[in-house]
Structure 1
Amino acid sequence: MPGDSNRTWELTGKDDKPYDSVQKGSLGGHRRSHIYGRLDCRAALQAIARGGYVANRVFFLNETAAEAAGYRPCAVCLPQDYALWKAGKV
């Protein structure tokens, strides 16, 4: 995007600590529930619309970072990944 060349985003790293990144995160998460999912997740967007969720929202560069930080996949927007996680295969 024009004008974004100097923009940074706050992402959450593998150590569950925030850091500034020149690359936008591809996944969102909730710090208290330790669940991550797609940015267009229906469940997350509904929670955001109700309020309260935004204060605990975090962003990840990718699934590897989210899982390394101790987050699990969302059952709503990532059902296959969630099924693998639940079965203990991740």
Structure 2
Amino acid sequence: MTSTRAARAVYRLTQADGSVVERDVQGQFGGNRRLKIYGRLDCPSALRALARGYGKRRVFFADEVTAIAAGYRPCAVCMPGEYRRWKEGRTRPR
């Protein structure tokens, strides 16, 4: 007997506290665990890193708010406006 059910895709998403949960919906952003950078899934810089074998450092986030809460910063390549705002916010005197 063969099954007619299609295999369900499962996505592993990183939460704000760093834990990983499995969801049936793909994350909106990807990131690099070591560099603590997040960006678009089609980021040219991330795609080059993946081609060089850095896939095991890849993490995914449901949304930008979660990526920021997890301590990641925006990618300067695919999110230059967000990166600029992040950088300006970091260098402001307190």
Normalised to the residue count of structure 1, the TM-score between the two structures is: 0.88
Task: Tell me whether 1:66 sits opposite 2:67 in the alignment.
Answer: yes
Secondary structure, aligned partner of 1:64: helix
Output the CA distance in 2 between the equivalents of 1:7 and 1:79: 31
- Aligned-residue sequence identity (percent) comes to 51
Output the CA distance in 1 between the equivalents of 2:80 and 2:64: 14
- Residue 38 of structure 1 corresponds to 40
Structure 1: stretches of 5+ with no match in the other structure: none
- Residue 26 of structure 1 corresponds to 28
Alignment-mate amino acid for residue 57 of structure 1: R
Greater C-alpha radius of gyration: 2
Cα shift at 1:22: 1.9
Q: Which runs of 4+ in 1 moved over 6 A?
A: none
Aligned CA-pair RMSD:
1.7
* Corresponding residue pairs, total: 86
Cα shift at 1:36: 0.2
- Residue 85 of structure 1 corresponds to 86
Alignment-mate amino acid for residue 85 of structure 2: L
Normalised to the residue count of structure 2, the TM-score between the two structures is: 0.85
Q: Which whole-Å deviations, capped at 9, do the CAs of 1:34-74 have from their partners, x for residues lacking one?
A: 000000000000111111x1011000001000000000000
